[in-house]
Structure 1
Amino acid sequence: MRRQTATSGSIPAGSSRSLRLDPLSLPVRFDAQDNRADGGIRQIELHRERVILRREIGGMRMAVNVRVCDFIGIASRTTDDGRMLLLQHRDPSLSIPLCVGADFDEIEAAASQWSAIFALPQLPEDKSREPSQRRRRHNAIKDRRPKFLARRKAGDLLNEAGNYQGEDEIIARD
């Protein structure tokens, strides 16, 4: 079993300086940029059934083991340098770059290969859009009486004779 490895935190030297992983030669171990990690680098081990992310934050080392089936799909995003292929997770900090390049056809071919290897769907490109308006929720407590008033009975209206409704006039005799 062959392993692809990166020797440093930067992109390895070769015929091209952009990130390109071969989906047919897994497991793969490489370094990727992580703005929140110490040194700005995280190590990624990519297997067919799991992904292991290693990084150090605030001097504390951590390894996060994520199953491939927990990812939502393979996404293609437009960047300043061209296109980037991602293994997309619901938590954006767990998304993993798979391929970066300027050739759109090559990125699409790689996306179909990664999608077949991991048995994940290809996600549509995320266009920059306006965030949707917040949904207004019904507040169940809004119509409730305050606690100190809830212990009291609600008052009844007076009838024409000045008596409370439903009560007879009480006459005290000695």
Structure 2
Amino acid sequence: MRRQTATGGSHSAGSGRALRLDPLSLPVSYSAHDTRADGGIRQIELHRERVVLRRAVSGMRMALNLRVSDFLGIGVREIDDTQVMLVLVHRDPSLTIPLCVSDDQNEIVAAWAMWSETFALPQLQDTRREATPRRRRRNAIRSRRPRFLMRRRVGYQLNPTSIHRGEREIIARN
């Protein structure tokens, strides 16, 4: 297998030059703009089953190996009035990956369909979304309570009619 850079150069995605990746010639390796990374650049490797992101944050180098099935789909974003970007959308916006940047709408539509078919992911219309909150663990309390107590109601509730406040109690003894 051979590796390929995006359009034969070492420019970053969205740097003003058009980014065009071919979904039929995977695996592809290229660099893209990343605001959180040191130097503002991250390395991306696209394979049919997985995506590898390499970047350094605060001097700590990391490589994220993600399955393609972990991504939500292929989406379209507008960069400005003329340019449109095709992206591989992830639930975490910092893991969203650019695939194609172009001025031509017909080229974007054709590439959108090809990438969607290659990765077997849906075509998404609205890709601008915030990070989803982290899911709550199903058994967060299980480690703190014994299993038989999980079936019981928590706390003891008194019958409010049996409580007499503000009254003087008279006790009669024989």
TM-score (norm 1): 0.71
Matches within 5 A, 1:47-58: 47-58=47-58
Structure 1 segments, 4+ long, off by >6 Å, are none
Aligned equivalent of 2:102 = 101
Deviation at residue 21 of structure 1 after TM alignment: 0.3
Q: Which structure dedicates a bigger proportion of its chain to helix?
A: 2
Post-superposition CA distance 1:35-89 (Å, at most 9, x none): 0000000000000000000000111100000000000000001111411000000
Judged with a 3 Å threshold, the aligned counterparts in structure 2 of structure 1 residues 92 and 156 are, in CA distance, closer, same or farther, namely same
Given that residues 72 and 90 in structure 1 are in contact (C-alpha distance below 8 angstroms), is that contact kept between their aligned partners in structure 2?
Answer: yes
Structure 1 residue runs without a partner (length 5+): 129-149
Q: Over aligned residues, Cα RMSD in angstroms?
A: 2.9
Q: Against the structure 1 CA distance between its residues 25 and 127, is the aligned structure 2 distance closer, same or farther, given a 3 Å change threshold?
A: closer
Mapped partners of 1:96, 1:76: distance in 2: 11
Which secondary structure state, in structure 2, belongs to the residue aligned with residue 106 of structure 1? helix
Unaligned runs of 5+ in 2: 130-156
CA contact (8 A) 1:2 1:25 kept: no
Identity %: 58
Q: Determine which structure has more spread, i.e. the larger CA radius of gyration.
A: 1
Q: How many residues are paired up? A: 141
User: Counterparts of 2:70 and 2:39 in 1: how far apart (Å)?
Assistant: 27
1:112 is matched with 113
Q: What per-residue deviation string (whole Å, max 9, x for no partner) do you get for residues 78-113 of structure 1?
A: 111411000000000100000001111110110000
Contact 2:45 2:51 in 1 (8 A): yes
